[in-house]
Amino acid sequence: MVEPVLCVLNHWINRNGKGWIIHTMSENFEQDPEQPLHVGEEAPDFHLQASDCSEFDLSDMAGKVIVLVFLSETFSDYTEDQVHIFKKLHQALKRDNVGVVGIVTEPMATIDTFVDEENIPFRILCDFNREVVEKFGVLAEKMDGLRMVARPSVFVVDRNGTIIYRWIREEDESQPDIDKITEIARNAGGSGDWKQRNND
């Protein structure tokens, strides 16, 4: 006999032999079979629209160091904490001409509101079709089985387009090591002009 499954608001509920079990969806992901890209691999090119209405092509960033930040969703406590950390990273690296770019799978209208309310100083890209999260191997399924989102992760891409650092969130690791990311990005050596949101 198949046990019933019930989705209620932000919780996924199923029944085992002893009773109902409630899982909070915001903290639980089932990893997609595609494996995340590794350090030393070439970062795949992609084209996405940004929250400031600009267009972003990774190939156009050749010669610059880019920190790609994949966010699972907007307006969650975890993501807001993560954005606060990456604001500090942006501030620390902007004089080194290192670009910080966020990627979210939610609709652009939601991203626009999130960027404005959180006063995010770097560009957030809309990957609504999940093409980029698939390319980087960080597409994950929320435990409700209804939404495919990005697994929280960070990739640092050097001036030659090679991945030189990656962080993929594990259950026992809440946030990336920002000091380590800052050191690696600086050592990689950003160069040339880098357009940040609001030109700050």
Could you read off the pLDDT of 21-39 as tens digits, one per residue?
Answer: 333 333 444 444 468 999 9
Reported as a single tens digit per residue, the pLDDT across 118-129 is 999 999 999 999
What number of other Cβ atoms are within 10 A of residue 2's Cβ? 4
Mean pLDDT over the full length of the chain = 81
H-state helical runs in the chain: 77-93, 108-118, 131-135, 178-188
The percent of residues in the chain predicted with pLDDT above 70, rounded, is 74
| Domain 26-192: CATH architecture, name and number where available | 3-Layer(aba) Sandwich (3.40)
The pLDDT, as a whole number, for residue 170 is 83
- Distance CA(51)–CA(116), nearest Å, equals 10
Domain extents in the chain: 26-192
**0.85 cut: is pTM over it?**
no
Q: Which residues pair with 56 in a beta bridge?
A: 48
Q: Cα-Cα-Cα-Cα dihedral of 30, 31, 32, 37, to 10°?
A: 170
Residue-wise pLDDT for 149-190, tens only, equals: 899 999 999 999 999 999 999 876 678 999 999 999 999 985
